[in-house]
Chain A
Amino acid sequence: AQTVTQSQPEMSVQEAETVTLSCTYDTSESDYYLFWYKQPPSRQMILVIRQEAYKQQNATENRFSVNFQKAAKSFSLKISDSQLGDAAMYFCAYRRLGQGAQKLVFGQGTRLTINP
């Protein structure tokens, strides 16, 4: 079974600085997707960024980028120029390919605090 591990229960960063959230996963599959989701307090979870395992290039979305190391099974999220609105729980998630195999396997989450 696939597992996702986020070893940092909490992180904090000064506003406008850069922070990196860590994620490792375990799978025997060669093709899969990895995601970072953001869950603000009392608000719904939204997709931040997605990475296809077959792509060597790291995904970027504005201030958000990932460092995908397939051999090491590592998938970290870098947030540049942190803003107060970035404060949330961040979940790393895995999804394998294949018909009917769309369930997301989540890590335990990292709570990110932005200090003004």
Chain B
Amino acid sequence: EAGVAQSPRYKIIEKRQSVAFWCNPISGHATLYWYQQILGQGPKLLIQFQNNGVVDDSQLPKDRFSAERLKGVDSTLKIQPAKLEDSAVYLCASSRWATNTDTQYFGPGTRLTVL
């Protein structure tokens, strides 16, 4: 079974530019999560999708961050415009269902550097 795929693995941009990250969850997983992991900290949830609907986006900075999950499979996270403090690793995770016993499987992450 293929794992969670993310691209690109690394991205360097200048502040005020825009950037997009892509995630392909494990086949058949209905729930998809985007986490932000700032250096030296644990991951923090940005947004959670159940199929193509948003379950939780309470910690997503909506003035600059957006995410979508068309057709309930792949997802894209966008930042526009980027700030220096957005430098972090962006982790995508998926689980089969949004149940309490489900394990979240993480992708390798995209490391973003904003200069």
* B43 and A104 contacting across the interface, CB-CB below 8 Å: yes
Q: How far is the CA of A104 from the CA of B35 in the complex (A)?
A: 9
Q: How far is the CA of A50 from the CA of B55 in the complex (A)?
A: 23
Choose one: B3, B48, B100; the contact of A97 (CB below 8 Å). Answer: B100
**A102 smallest CB distance to B (angstroms):** 5
**By DSSP majority rule, is chain A's interface helix, strand, loop, or mixed?**
loop
Interface size range on B against A: 20 to 34
Supposing A45-B91, A100-B55 touch, asked if A109 and B42 sit within 8 A by C-beta, the answer is: yes
Spot the interface stretch: B13-21, B64-72, B103-111. B103-111
Q: How far is the CA of A93 from the CA of B56 in the complex (A)?
A: 18
Choose one: B48, B98, B99, B106; the contact of A45 (CB below 8 Å). Answer: B106
B 40-60 to A, binary, CB cutoff 8 A, 1 in contact else 0: 111111001010000110000
Choose one: B40, B45, B109; the contact of A104 (CB below 8 Å). Answer: B45
Choose one: B33, B55, B100, B108; the contact of A44 (CB below 8 Å). Answer: B108
A 26-59 to B, binary, CB cutoff 8 A, 1 in contact else 0: 0000000100010000111111001000000000
**A74 smallest CB distance to B (angstroms):** 17
B 64-100 to A, binary, CB cutoff 8 A, 1 in contact else 0: 0000000000000000000000000001000100111
Supposing A33-B100, A44-B3, A44-B109 touch, asked if A103 and B41 sit within 8 A by C-beta, the answer is: no
B→A interface (CB under 8 Å): 3-4, 31, 33, 35, 40-45, 48, 50, 55-56, 91, 95, 98-100, 102-104, 106-109
Ordered by A's residue number, 24 sampled pairs between the chains whose C-beta atoms are within 8 Å are A33-B100, A37-B106, A42-B108, A44-B109, A46-B106, A47-B103, A50-B103, A95-B100, A100-B98, A102-B31, A102-B55, A102-B98, A102-B99, A102-B100, A103-B48, A104-B35, A104-B43, A104-B45, A104-B104, A106-B42, A106-B43, A108-B41, A108-B42, A109-B40
Those 8 A-B pairs whose CB atoms lie nearest each other, nearest first: A106-B42, A45-B106, A103-B45, A44-B108, A100-B55, A44-B106, A97-B100, A106-B43
